Structure 1
């Protein structure tokens, strides 16, 4: 755990949030600044800076994050119409919190992936 990482503190139960899903290695909770009608963050409880670092250090945990994201999408009713799963990696990609997290977004048409 990183003492100054907000997601580590959420995973440890030190910061209040409503957990939508929890497993031994992952947690899911709503994004405080939602970009779609449904916007849930899925994080591993152990600190990894980004998805590339996670995939290298612990591929099995990376798989658990994906499985949790799929479970959350189904629980949120996104299965029928689809959802987007986003991992921002690095500053140029818009990563703001440097603890790997998946954005599960959906609930309405999301439009093109990138605006040109």
Structure 2
């Protein structure tokens, strides 16, 4: 498999890990858009949000719970943070393994762009 994130899960490529459990891997983004910018990925390969199945609902909840826990650990949960998931080319997805961007440590504007 040529998936960049799967290679990170298998440690063929070593990410800068901030959290890991049996279902989820979270690591610092190599091109951060905020003082804290972490990618949270499921260890199960799912290409896009369109591919999330009924059997993946608990896993999707786990990704969101991980984001909230990390926001608390990084100290910006109360001030606020942004969580983003992109889907397909027009949505800005560049790696086809679903992933959540957790960004915090600065004020964000709206619309997002």
Q: TM-score range by the shorter chain?
A: over 0.9
TM, length-normalised to structure 1 = 0.90
Structure 2 CA distance, aligned partners of 1:27 and 1:57?
19
Tell me the matched-pair count. 113
Partner of 1:49: 47
Secondary structure at 1:41 match in 2: strand
1:81 to 79, 88, 92: 79
Structure 2 CA distance, aligned partners of 1:55 and 1:109?
34
Where do 5+ consecutive residues of structure 1 fail to align?
Answer: none
Structure 1 CA distance, aligned partners of 2:87 and 2:7?
20
Whether the aligned pair in 2 keeps the contact of 1:55 and 1:62 (CA below 8 Å) is no
TM, length-normalised to structure 2 = 0.92
Runs of 4+ residues deviating >4 angstroms: none
1:49-88 deviations in whole A, cap 9, x for unaligned? 1223225441111111111111111111121211010000
Where do 5+ consecutive residues of structure 2 fail to align?
Answer: none
Structure 2 CA distance, aligned partners of 1:55 and 1:30?
27
Query: Superposition RMSD on alpha carbons, in Å?
Result: 1.3
